[in-house]
Structure 1
């Protein structure tokens, strides 16, 4: 389609119902033939602008209507649509595979780039910080009318409006619960049961409107008795009661998906390059924040890989990292179980990656207490692997091609869903830029693509939730939130639905059969008995779902957990351990001890489940484990018991750990591990033990000093260790000598431009030699600090021209997470650099990798730098030919 035709389409389009705005530029989209998808599937355009604009999220109802949350007023464009953003409804009324109708369900000034929409029959849930809003379309006319319909703020207290790291979409679970998540802006909210949850994190940036001071509530215990950090997942009853936090410590998980086995999967964003897709261990921490709510940067270990440091994989208290794939901008996800794609696609987790112009696919495979996740490109418009317009490649913008065509790298998938017809639907935000809280497409173009078998004819089965048969049909639906309506209807029918649900258990499709298990405890005594019978199944997945169904329905599962603690499946033993959470130690310990006996000494999730099951009872549980497992004298502990102690961080183990740390009979690694184990114990006796190791001049003295500084200026700062740190020479603020580091200003102009370099032929051998200059800031060929972004694969990711531009003018677009800060000292000196830790002392790294600790009482002011911390080509003494040579070498690095 050429541009003239696009203009005509826009000009002659039927105005949208309730629309008060039209884009100033003609709409664009990526051509379907630009995409690579699995064999046998094809991509078609289901709808495009002006039927929708800037789609942030979608959901699909039983009739195949697609509901879209829009973000026309996103970020700096707030106010572009004066009437506010909206929820649009798009329909294919004639069944030809394309939308032919679009209208507004609701538009409000208070809707500012909402990040979530979920549809449960005639109930529409919109995620709009600070509120989670529920609209009930009473007369079912698909238009919200306050005179006849209902609007309720179900929950409130979520940071922040018009911010990507805020409240995300609701998803219906197989257990009848509603699931939602929130990014690391944090939240303080009270559920309808009267319980208040505080999700703390030290992040407070990126603009937007903030509502609650979650960043200042360090260490506050929520009303459920536990401490939570921001970036979290929750589930609740649809009426807003009985909220449970079921995962935390995220950076910004845009969306999560819960499958019919009750397994939660999500993606999560990064400080480049460490985006991930993972299984969420129930109640576990992803690791972006420490237990004290501090950034992972504050506890990064010397030489530690960035990905492992980013998600604290070498620390106790975090779940398995899953698949780290590097830099990106992950968005919507869905779990495909049944539908038009065929049996081979069943069990596929799809994850949008807007920064890479791709949707990844995984078929998670049980691996102990976690999942093996092998990544594939499922829908991809970036066939050369050169990324543009994303933070992790320096930002910038993708450029359109010749007149009448559109660069496939403007494809920015914001969400993916499974329709009631079994096809996959993807919303495209379409923009030259992604991340950095920016958008550059003034047309606000948006497209919905359908991915289905070639020649696919959509059929949306008619569903009557008033009948058992109709509710069963809904429960069989490929669309997750349609399935939820089937569950809800059958649960309300009680024992009447038991025969039909029992028949469903025999379905040859394991995903459909599992959906019936969750209902059994709600269908009378016969249903509960049937569910308990399934605990004896020879299939581990069936036993697992039956156990979860009973527990989620509020049944007493303690005796069942005692049996499952010895189950052959590590996944069942994991869940038995998690079921102990919140119980007194005398009940929890026997089960946790049995679970511990089955640990292989390596499975991180398995060990973490034991720790989570013992939370708030760790010393008593550890004492019981010590007595039951009989590890003997501390110097004879095996590595498995030492690791159990490390994870349980018990105060009662401090003396034993101190003995191990001082023992010359143990290896250095064993002694260091004992010191590390003490450092994770949140009690004043722990630093006292490390100070004693120093005074006794034990062989672990250097390690004890290192951890004392890390903890004493971090999570142990609350114990006021400054005097002892000073006396022992570990840290004396008055003796800290600071070096002034002032970055040269950005030159008004450069001696040459990117086009000058593009004309030249590069010499890779010479470029390798020139790369030595990069080691002032970048880690290259095992040399240089981890100060600037990783250059390995950099040119292949972003393309030659973008790499040249970044070297010539690095301030043109600064990679997210590498923004500079200028610190003004009270003595008049300045330090420009990257803030690594914002505690006391503030830790800042400057060009060349110089890292300094700056006592807070010596700081006069601080300000954001408006230029890059990287010197440009002229300042580095690079000629146009030098840049060409350097980029040529980097192509293969």
Structure 2
């Protein structure tokens, strides 16, 4: 039933020329399941706001919302442009009663970020990051009084979900930005140009400004190669940009807690969404270092999610919680407020495809964090989801007036200065897939707070010391940033108040003061250095980070902490060695390496990141101390350390290990693999030697030579040698035509007929073996079609029947086909696994072919599924019912 809650408040300053929908709808708050003791209420709803993409909350408790009325195919729905709208609860009754436009421009087309820092409003609108300064502080942008500045520009792509997202203030006084894998080429106010891109280009619509292919894999002016989506921090004036993490697919938003830990959620294709801790300067793995898609380096039999985030390759950080299909959005860290002490340290992440706000309590685990997921707030406890990419785009709920619980699409989550949680809902039957369906543009803001909560927003005056401290204590992240800035500007006079803050029993609040110490005179610096010997791990961590972030000398501290009892502290010491000369950093990294357990991925990666660009100098130091003597005597841990550092001086030793009969086959093949990651012609030469007939690792060497010789080592011009050795001879390849038949004009039975039948799971198990032509089931069949394990349990019987009877109606995201026309007139239909030269395409039955580019006449996206329908598979209606019944038990 349609929710019948009253329209709250009055709508003012609506865009002229656009008629707002007269009958907005929302998901009734009574369907939500929230943590015990908390309740969900409607704080605002359309027509007070429409299609909310992002929100921020200022010191007065006003909620600022970026709207996406002109989203994607509806780019001209509101000709005057999209808005930043301000909503307010003026009488304190817990519901917004005022709504007005702060700014509206034709150039605002579904902006994905808004952030408020006192009277500076930052809007993320590719290609620009725009700062509006509300000079007269009336929350209405007036160009005659207020100012508008393009702080940075060069972000792909306008009206695209994988572009520039919101800005968040860090505890270090920096602004943090993040961008999806559309790429960017921008110059900061210090004059440094950043080139961050990959193979993703002009896909999914939108307006593109940067030529990704021309910059993919090229170093930025900081000397590093960054690829894909990324997180960066900078000074509020746009200077001194530093990349914090990269290699994302589409991290919609990042959050930075008061300990300086960055967390993000990241999108998938297909199911491999994740929530992760971002290792400083690390790569998430979606693109290779050259900017190619992860599929180009997929290993035989490798699980999809491990390939998707390249978890088996050196140079990637730990994936964290990989939860499968989804469409993650906003994220925030709750540290203090109205929810009570027991909920401090809760990470909240929006997941509209699953109708949920996930909750985590990140716990340190070695050099990373344990992320155990809960459904913190959800409207859908059935486990059956709708209208998402990972459900094939199928939409059971098409009539939005029903306000089904599966239409709850949380686009963002934030903590207000009153300590409550606020969630924006973009109400829609569809999420992801570059589209929306709800013509009413309905949106809502829900408040999650203790029952009978009476909101109280402290008044803050940043011109006073007390007001600045109050701001720093705020539960709202960008409000406390303003407190940091105000206290930093006071210098030494703020030190006594900040020192008092360090005694706060809430460790999150106390940590906020530590970040200020390096800016409060010599006494502040001395206090910060004293905390390096604290008996509290996180005090040591934050003190070290604060000194480093402030640009102070941390080498003496690093030497002392390189053997710290905490692996997290040692991790940060290693990360701080990046760009430090090897003569200085190598002994420190050696001490850190002595503490590695041989297993912790993030710990190993931190050593590799600390040695960036100096691996050839640092590795011999580590070898001489950790594993002197014959390379056959290396420990497994040192062998893995060598694998991560990819040092050229190790080439001869790795070749010896690969050929030695004294080592196990596994150790020999690992040495071969390690060689393959060394970006040097000498490594390729060694690999050709390992590919000879008498080599014990010939098969592995041939496999790596093909992958690298046509990929990362392509610049070494190895194709002639690959041909001579028979590893890859494009002229000798025999291609087989593979055409997927079109959908029949009629079918023998309907979905409705199947649904009337009783399925027999025992018969269905046998019938399901027909599906192993394309699906991997119980160890049989290729990984060509989507994984069917748990599929019916997640999506329900109706969706499963629909997919088998008419698979072309909704194609699972990531499983779309490409028809390649060869120059001899034949066709190969299949899924592109690697889009290099050769093109690697897999067709029905899991048949994979290497297609030299010079044999391709054209290529086209297929408008039908690669999967044959039930009729074409020779299935009866009863067969389908039986298969679906068995798949319901296949977990």
TM-score, length of structure 1 as denominator length: 0.98
1:191–1:241: 8 Å Cα contact kept in structure 2? yes
Pick one of 370, 373, 392 that aligns with 1:372. 370
Correspondence for 2:228: 230
**Residues 1:342 and 2:340 are matched in the alignment:** yes
2:11–2:100: 8 Å Cα contact kept in structure 1? no
The 1:18/1:143 distance shift into structure 2, 3 A limit, reads: farther
How many Å apart are 1:405 and its aligned residue? 4.6
Moved more, 245-254 or 759-768: 759-768
Q: Deviations over 1:453-496 (max 9, x none)?
A: 00000000000000010000000000000010000000001111
Q: Deviations over 1:44-73 (max 9, x none)?
A: 000000001101000001111000001011
How many Å apart are 1:398 and its aligned residue? 3.8
2:2–2:25: 8 Å Cα contact kept in structure 1? no
2:755–2:881: 8 Å Cα contact kept in structure 1? yes
* Unaligned 5+ runs, structure 1: none
**Residues 1:602 and 2:599 are matched in the alignment:** yes
Pick one of 423, 437, 452 that aligns with 1:455. 452
Correspondence for 2:406: 409
Pick one of 436, 440, 454 that aligns with 1:439. 436
Tell me, in whole angstroms, the C-alpha distance in 1 between the residues paired with 2:883 and 2:627: 61
Give the alignment of 1:339-738 within 5 angstroms. 339-399=337-397, 405-695=402-692, 697-738=694-735
1:361–1:375: 8 Å Cα contact kept in structure 2? yes
Pick one of 212, 215, 225 that aligns with 2:213. 215
Pick one of 738, 742, 749 that aligns with 2:739. 742
Tell me, in whole angstroms, the C-alpha distance in 1 between the residues paired with 2:589 and 2:672: 25
Moved more, 611-620 or 879-888: 879-888
**Residues 1:332 and 2:330 are matched in the alignment:** yes
Moved more, 857-866 or 798-807: 798-807
2:808 partner SS: helix
How many Å apart are 1:13 and its aligned residue? 5.7
Tell me, in whole angstroms, the C-alpha distance in 2 between the residues paired with 1:145 and 1:24: 27
1:270–1:327: 8 Å Cα contact kept in structure 2? yes
How many Å apart are 1:739 and its aligned residue? 0.5
TM-score, length of structure 2 as denominator length: 0.98
1:328–1:391: 8 Å Cα contact kept in structure 2? yes
Correspondence for 2:249: 251
Correspondence for 2:871: 874
How many Å apart are 1:19 and its aligned residue? 4.9
Moved more, 299-308 or 847-856: 299-308
Pick one of 167, 171, 176 that aligns with 1:174. 171
Correspondence for 1:838: 835
How many Å apart are 1:890 and its aligned residue? 1.2
Pick one of 269, 280, 293 that aligns with 2:291. 293
Correspondence for 1:115: 112
2:233–2:244: 8 Å Cα contact kept in structure 1? yes
How many Å apart are 1:381 and its aligned residue? 1.0
Correspondence for 2:280: 282
1:751 partner SS: coil
Correspondence for 1:788: 785
Correspondence for 1:261: 259
How many Å apart are 1:217 and its aligned residue? 1.7
The 1:404/1:310 distance shift into structure 2, 3 A limit, reads: closer
Moved more, 768-777 or 273-282: 768-777
The 1:466/1:24 distance shift into structure 2, 3 A limit, reads: closer
Correspondence for 1:242: 240
Moved more, 215-224 or 618-627: 215-224
**Residues 1:158 and 2:155 are matched in the alignment:** yes
How many Å apart are 1:219 and its aligned residue? 2.8
How many Å apart are 1:629 and its aligned residue? 2.3
Give the alignment of 1:68-217 within 5 angstroms. 68-204=65-201, 205-217=203-215
1:528 partner SS: helix
Moved more, 875-884 or 170-179: 875-884
Tell me, in whole angstroms, the C-alpha distance in 2 between the residues paired with 1:189 and 1:236: 13
1:655 partner SS: helix
Q: Deviations over 1:171-192 (max 9, x none)?
A: 0000000001101111111000
How many Å apart are 1:101 and its aligned residue? 0.5
Q: Deviations over 1:761-780 (max 9, x none)?
A: 11111111111111111111
Pick one of 307, 311, 314 that aligns with 2:312. 314
Q: Deviations over 1:135-154 (max 9, x none)?
A: 00000110111111110000
Tell me, in whole angstroms, the C-alpha distance in 2 between the residues paired with 1:611 and 1:656: 19
Tell me, in whole angstroms, the C-alpha distance in 2 between the residues paired with 1:890 and 1:630: 52
Correspondence for 1:805: 802
Tell me, in whole angstroms, the C-alpha distance in 2 between the residues paired with 1:778 and 1:850: 12
2:882 partner SS: helix
Tell me, in whole angstroms, the C-alpha distance in 1 between the residues paired with 2:411 and 2:805: 32
Tell me, in whole angstroms, the C-alpha distance in 2 between the residues paired with 1:264 and 1:594: 26
1:818–1:834: 8 Å Cα contact kept in structure 2? yes
Number of aligned pairs? 889
The 1:9/1:280 distance shift into structure 2, 3 A limit, reads: closer
Tell me, in whole angstroms, the C-alpha distance in 1 between the residues paired with 2:401 and 2:50: 21
Tell me, in whole angstroms, the C-alpha distance in 1 between the residues paired with 2:388 and 2:74: 19
How many Å apart are 1:18 and its aligned residue? 3.7
Pick one of 758, 769, 773 that aligns with 2:770. 773
2:24–2:47: 8 Å Cα contact kept in structure 1? yes
Q: Deviations over 1:428-460 (max 9, x none)?
A: 111111111010111111010000000000000
Tell me, in whole angstroms, the C-alpha distance in 2 between the residues paired with 1:566 and 1:187: 39
* Unaligned 5+ runs, structure 2: none
Tell me, in whole angstroms, the C-alpha distance in 1 between the residues paired with 2:111 and 2:231: 18
1:398–1:410: 8 Å Cα contact kept in structure 2? no
Tell me, in whole angstroms, the C-alpha distance in 2 between the residues paired with 1:68 and 1:698: 63
Tell me, in whole angstroms, the C-alpha distance in 2 between the residues paired with 1:211 and 1:481: 30
How many Å apart are 1:24 and its aligned residue? 4.3
Tell me, in whole angstroms, the C-alpha distance in 2 between the residues paired with 1:388 and 1:609: 40
Tell me, in whole angstroms, the C-alpha distance in 1 between the residues paired with 2:261 and 2:213: 30
1:95 partner SS: coil
Moved more, 578-587 or 509-518: 578-587
2:11–2:99: 8 Å Cα contact kept in structure 1? no
The 1:775/1:630 distance shift into structure 2, 3 A limit, reads: closer
Moved more, 240-249 or 804-813: 804-813
Tell me, in whole angstroms, the C-alpha distance in 2 between the residues paired with 1:873 and 1:21: 46
Tell me, in whole angstroms, the C-alpha distance in 1 between the residues paired with 2:451 and 2:482: 30
Correspondence for 1:854: 851
Tell me, in whole angstroms, the C-alpha distance in 2 between the residues paired with 1:605 and 1:255: 22
Pick one of 25, 41, 63 that aligns with 1:28. 25
Tell me, in whole angstroms, the C-alpha distance in 2 between the residues paired with 1:748 and 1:430: 36
Tell me, in whole angstroms, the C-alpha distance in 2 between the residues paired with 1:207 and 1:452: 39
